[in-house]
Chains A and B, each alone.
Chain A
Amino acid sequence: MENTAQLVQYILTGITIGAIYALVGLGYNIIYNVTEVINFAQGEFVVLGGLVMVFMTNTLHLSLPVGFFLSVGIVTILGALMDKLTIQPIKNATVLTLIIITIAVSIIFKGLAMLIWGRDPYTLPAFSKAPPFTLFHAIIQPQALWVLGITTVVVILLSLFFRYTMVGKAMLACADSPEASRLMGIPVQRMVLISFVLSAAIGAVAGIVITPISLMEYDRGALLGLKGFGASILGGLGSFSGAVIAGLILGLIESLCAGYVSSGYKDAVALIVLLLVLFIKPSGFFAGKRASLKKF
C-alpha cells in the first residue's frame, strides 16, 4: 500500500514539474518557429514571472488575478524590449552572434533579478486555500492542480490562436518561409515581436504557477531553460504537441529517478536525456514530418 502511495506521489510530482518544462519548451518553439533563434533567456522569463509575482503579492498585497495579469504583463514587456533592442537591430547576424546576444540578455535579466530580489529564494501563497487531499494514499497539494489546469488552458489557447487567428496563421507561415511570407505581405518583423511577447508571457505564467510549490530564486533560469529545451528537443523542435508530451515525460523521468535512484542526480537526469536525444535523434521523437524538415 505504501509503495503505491509513493509511486502515485512521484508520478504526480513529475507531471506537475513536467508541465512547467512543457511550458518552457513551448516558449522555445514559438520563437524558434518564427525566427530559427533559440532564446537562451527563456528560463529567465520563468524566474522573472515568479519573482515579479512575489513583489505583486507579498509587497503590494494585490489580489491573485490582478497580480497575475500585471506580472505576466511586465515580463511580456521585457520580452518585447528584448526583441526590439537586441534582436531586431542586428542585421545579417550569424548563429553564433544570436546565441551570444540571447545569453547576454539572460545574464542581464539574472543580474537585474539579483539586484532587486537578492540571492534568497522566495515563496508565494498557494492559489486556493483548500487543504491538501489524498488520492490513492498520496498527498496532493491543490496548487499542483492549478499548475496542470493552467498549463492545459495555455496549451488550448495557443492551439486555437495558431489554428484560427490570422496572426497565428501568419506566424506559422513565417516559420515555413520568411521570404515567401514577406512577399505575401506579412510583416515578418512584427511576427517576430509577437513570438517574443508570447513566449515571455508563457514563461511568466510557468514561473507564477510553480513558485508556490518549488520557490523561486534569481539563478534558477539556466537550469529551467536547459530542461525546457530538453522538452522541446525531445518533442521535436517546433512541434507544440511534441513539447507538451516530452515535457511531461521529462518531468516523470526526473521525479522517478529522484525517488528511486538518487535525489542528488535529479537535475542531471533531464540533461542526460537532452544530450542523448541531441546525439541520437536531434529531430525529436514526437514530432510530425514538419519539424524534422528544419535544419540542424
Chain B
Amino acid sequence: MGYEKKKILCLILFLVIFPVLVNYIPAISNYLEVMIFAGIFCLVTIGLSLLMGYAGQISLGHAAFLGIGAYSSGILTTKFGLSPWLGILAGVALSSAIAVVVGIPSLKLKGHYLAMATLGFGEIVFIVFNEEVDLTGGPSGFADIPYLHIGSFEFTSELTYYILVWSVVLIGLFFALNLIHSRVGRAWKAIHGNELAAEAMGVPTSKYKLKIFVLSSIYASIAGSLYTHYICFLNPSSFDLFWSIKFVMMVIVGGMNSVWGAIIGTVLLTYLGNEWLTAFKHFDVLVYGFILLLITMFLPGGIVSLPEILKSKRTITR
C-alpha cells in the first residue's frame, strides 16, 4: 500500500495545482470543465477496470448503468421534486437491483457470450430510454434538472463541481484500492487467472463475479447522477452503445490491469474527444478505432505498461 500512497498523493497534488494552472493559462481555460467530465467518466472506468482487469469479465453495456443513474436522479428530482441526493441513492438502488437481475444469468456465460449479452442488455436499456417518452422525454430528452446543493449552497460553478466530482473519484479510487488488496481482490485475481482452479480452491466464484458486477454498476450509476446534475439536461444519446465501447476503450488504452490505467486512459480519451480531436470532426470515429486497435495489438498492457517496457528495453541494449 505504501507505493499506492505515493501515487495517491501525486494525484491529489495534481488535482490541486490543475485549477490554478488553468486559471493562469488562457489557452487551456476550458480544460477545467473537461476535467469534470473526465472525473465523471473515471468513476465508470474505475468500476469497469475492477470488473475487466481484476475479475477478467467484460461488459459492453456499462453506459446503460450510467444512464439508469442519470435518468433516476433526473426524473425523481425534476418530476417528483425529490432532493438530488435521494435521487442519487435511488439510482444506486435501481442500478444494483438491475445489475443483480442481469448479472446472475449473464455471468454464467464466458467470453464472447458475456460480451454479447451485455451488449444486448445495453441496447435494450437504450431503446427503453428512447421509447418511454412519458418518463424520459424520448429522443429529445428533458431539461431543467436541478443542481446539487447542500443547504442553500448550490454546486453551480465549475470549480465547486470540479472539487465535488474529484472528491467522489478519490473516495471511489481509495475504496477500489482497498478492495484490490483485500481478500476479495485476491479472489478476483484467482478468478481471472483460472476460474476452475479458483473454484476448486474454495473461492465462491459466481458470488464474487456478481459482487464486482454490482459494484461497478454502482460506480457507473453515481457517475450518471453526477453527470445529470451538472449538465442539467438529459437525452439518450450519451448512453448508447458507442459510449459503452468508449468506456471499455478508456480502460484498455490506459492499461486494463490497474485502476491507475483506467484513470489515465479516461482523462486522456476525454481530452481527445472534447479538445484535441475536434479538429478531425468526422474522422474522430476512425481515429478511436485505430487507437483501440493499435493499443490492443502492440501495447496490450496499455499506457501504464510503457515505463516497464522502456526499462526492460534499456537493460537489453546495455
Taking a contact as CB atoms closer than 8 A, the residue among B52, B108, B120 that contacts A226 in the complex is B120
Roughly how many angstroms separate A224 CA and B274 CA in the complex, as a whole number? Answer: 29
Roughly how many angstroms separate A153 CA and B117 CA in the complex, as a whole number? Answer: 31
Specify which of A95, A100, A268 lies most central, judged by the most chain B CB atoms within 10 Å of its CB: A100
Contact across chains for A111 and B289 when beta carbons are under 8 A apart: yes
Q: B286 in the interface, Cβ–Cβ < 8 Å?
A: yes
Q: With a CB–CB cut-off of 8 A, which chain B residues contact A272?
A: 124
Q: With a CB–CB cut-off of 8 A, which chain A residues contact B297?
A: 86, 89-90, 101
Q: B110 in the interface, Cβ–Cβ < 8 Å?
A: yes
Roughly how many angstroms separate A279 CA and B282 CA in the complex, as a whole number? Answer: 38
Question: How many whole Å from A295's CB to the nearest CB in chain B?
Answer: 8
Q: B21 in the interface, Cβ–Cβ < 8 Å?
A: no
Interface string of A2-40 (1 = CB under 8 A from B): 000000000000000000000000000000000001101
Roughly how many angstroms separate A262 CA and B56 CA in the complex, as a whole number? Answer: 38
Contact across chains for A97 and B300 when beta carbons are under 8 A apart: yes
Q: With a CB–CB cut-off of 8 A, which chain B residues contact A86?
A: 293, 297
Taking a contact as CB atoms closer than 8 A, the residue among B113, B121, B130, B248 that contacts A296 in the complex is B113
Contact across chains for B124 and A104 when beta carbons are under 8 A apart: no
Interface string of B118-150 (1 = CB under 8 A from A): 011101100110110000000000000000000
Q: A256 in the interface, Cβ–Cβ < 8 Å?
A: no
**Contact-residue size bin, chain B (C-beta under 8 Å from the other chain):** 35 or more
Interface string of A112-150 (1 = CB under 8 A from B): 101100100000000000000000000000000000000
Nearest B residue to A280, CB-CB: B105
Contact across chains for B293 and A101 when beta carbons are under 8 A apart: yes
Taking a contact as CB atoms closer than 8 A, the residue among B105, B116, B120, B289 that contacts A110 in the complex is B289
Taking a contact as CB atoms closer than 8 A, the residue among A38, A97, A101, A222 that contacts B241 in the complex is A222
Interface string of B100-112 (1 = CB under 8 A from A): 0000011011111
Q: A185 in the interface, Cβ–Cβ < 8 Å?
A: no
Roughly how many angstroms separate A271 CA and B252 CA in the complex, as a whole number? Answer: 27
Roughly how many angstroms separate A278 CA and B120 CA in the complex, as a whole number? Answer: 10
29 contacts between A and B (CB under 8 A): A37-B112, A96-B52, A96-B56, A97-B296, A99-B115, A100-B252, A103-B248, A104-B292, A108-B289, A109-B289, A110-B285, A110-B289, A111-B285, A226-B116, A226-B120, A226-B123, A233-B113, A233-B116, A265-B131, A267-B127, A274-B117, A275-B117, A278-B106, A278-B109, A278-B120, A279-B106, A279-B117, A282-B109, A296-B113
B interface, CB within 8 angstroms of A: 52, 56, 58, 60, 105-106, 108-113, 115-117, 119-121, 123-124, 127-128, 130-131, 241, 245, 248, 252, 282-290, 292-293, 296-297, 300
Q: Which are the 8 A-B pairs with shortest beta-carbon distances? A: A111-B286, A107-B289, A108-B289, A111-B285, A95-B111, A104-B293, A279-B105, A38-B112
A interface, CB within 8 angstroms of B: 37-38, 40, 86, 89-90, 95-97, 99-101, 103-112, 114-115, 118, 222-223, 226, 229-230, 233, 262, 264-265, 267-268, 271-272, 274-275, 278-279, 282, 295-296
Given contact pairs A97-B300, A101-B296, enumerate 5 new A-B contacts (beta carbons under 8 Å): A86-B293, A96-B56, A97-B296, A107-B289, A275-B121
